[in-house]
Amino acid sequence: MNQKFNEFIEIAGKLNGIGITPLLMGSVGLEVVTGRSWDAQDLDIHVPGDKRGWEVPAETSIHNWSEIVEIMESMDYTLIDLHEHEFWKEGQSVEFGIIDTLPDFSGVRIEDLEIHRIGEVNYYLLNPEQYLRVYEASSQDSYRADQNNHKDLGKIEYLKHELIKNS
């Protein structure tokens, strides 16, 4: 496993300690699912929060936010962007999103997520079909498309090809 995934497992274990089972999103999660490198730049972790997402003030949109900040600071991370819920440590960015926005955003239901376990650590991970739905929804978001230079389109094509091949 790569270093970013190992860091996620450490963070997830601490989140489990306060009753949160996080969802590993983004390229790191996709690397775990596909076994292929997607040149992940950061860790994207989704946790429970207000399903209205951006409509709610950043400091109240994620449940247990103050406890999450304490956990991240105890791991020597610094909160660098409250709006993005982004932390930074030694070149590593960790951003928190809201798992409860997933159904409205992509149609992926929370109850359909599969729990994975490594040692004593529990976390959610999307399957290839769910990743496809998320990346297709993301590709419709002009902000994300501009920020990612349309990298998601390659992921979408790969996932479509793999799902067809394995059906």
> What span, in angstroms and rounded, lies between the C-alpha atoms of 46 and 151?
21
> What span, in angstroms and rounded, lies between the C-alpha atoms of 12 and 14?
5
Residue 147 in this model has a pLDDT that exceeds 70: no
- pLDDT tens per residue across span 77-93: 999 999 999 999 999 99
- pLDDT tens per residue across span 70-129: 999 999 999 999 999 999 999 999 999 999 999 999 999 999 999 999 999 999 999 999
Mean pLDDT taken over the chain:
91
Residue 146 in this model has a pLDDT that exceeds 60: no
Q: Name the burial class of residue 4, with classes exposed (0-12), middle (13-18) and buried (19+) by CB atoms within 10 angstroms of its CB.
A: buried
Structure tokens at 12: 């997830």
Half-sphere exposure (Cβ direction) of 144: Cα atoms closer than 13 Å: 13
Give the C-alpha distances (Å, rounded to integers) separating 46 from 95, 100, 158: 8, 9, 23
> What span, in angstroms and rounded, lies between the C-alpha atoms of 62 and 48?
6
> What span, in angstroms and rounded, lies between the C-alpha atoms of 131 and 147?
19
CATH class of 3-127: alpha beta
